[in-house]
Structure 1
Amino acid sequence: MGGPELDHLIGLFSHLPGLGPRSARRIVLKLLTERETRLAPLIGALQSVSALVRSCAVCGNLDSRDPCAICADPTRERRICVVEQVSDLWALERTHSYRGSYHVLGGVLSAIGGRGPDDLRIKSLLARLEAGTVEEVILALPATVDGATTAHFLAEKLHALGVRTSRLAQGVPMGGAIDVLDEGTLSTALRARSPA
């Protein structure tokens, strides 16, 4: 169509979530026909993000600061919401219903996927709780078999430490991923959480 460079770029875009080859072609065409207003700013933003954004050493969020803006905020409540991925953290933040901090596990336990406790950020979560300043841990993990297994595993560890633990409640459907739920559903689930 337009040479190997264009085919390569279209291929890269088509592998992004929510995009297929047709959408990727439209994006590439738009970028190339509006180089100064679209392509140049995008290139600059991608270079900046690549150079500056890192995982927060405390919670695992992505930010150009370390600790991230959420961890550095002294007005946050003394609660930790445990999530599977950064996308889940961002989804919960969009609700404006939760004012605590977070902990990104980086996945869930999975016998089939070969992910055990040492493959997740569980040790760093437990280390955060040793100071004794956290009032509650909210397990906001996906309503899947692996998510439930991970929540059960963590609940046992947290109960042994004497930490009050809760889970998201109604509104989170079985098999549902946190990052695709709407803000209203997530707000309801946070308010109606139950002991774990």
Structure 2
Amino acid sequence: MTQAGETAANSAGKVTKATEDEKNALAKLKAAIDPVGAAIDTVGRRYSELKKFFDKGLIDKEEYEFLVRKLNETTEELSGVAQAQREAEKAGKLAAAQQEAQAQAFQRMLDKIDPLAAALRNLEQQHDELNAAFASGKINGSQFENYSRKIQETRRELTGEAQAEREAAKAHDEQVVALQRLIAQLDPVGNCF
């Protein structure tokens, strides 16, 4: 090789090195400007390296899938996806709690408007709890029957069924007495014997 050829080769080597140095400097500048993007690029390179190791058979499928999952989680954290998902989940829970609070407030309003329905619903809940306590063995059969009877009596009082029965029994008794008086008036002699 001639001296001019060597000089050209050296110059080309220097240009290549200068180009590499500039490329590295530019990469460092980009990383300083956008550290998240640089970190995501690094994760991407790690994924490529991992794929090569898997393709060569240096790691098994289970370990490969575990590491890929970790890389994906890291990418999501870096890109803000995971944080956004957590915030969305938190907002969803908050919205559900607010809806529940509104539903409870609405139910309280309805209970004030129709206290009879509220009382009957409360008795139904108590009966469900009583059934659960009996099924779990917290109370025995006689206790269950006793409390069930009390709930049923309370339900009958609330619906007016018990009052109607009392009034019907009283009316029946009054009719019996009136009938006995009528019989006594019709047959005054028969009552003496």
Q: TM-score, normalised by structure 1?
A: 0.24
Larger radius of gyration: 2
Q: Which has the higher contact order (CA 8 A, sep 6+)?
A: 1
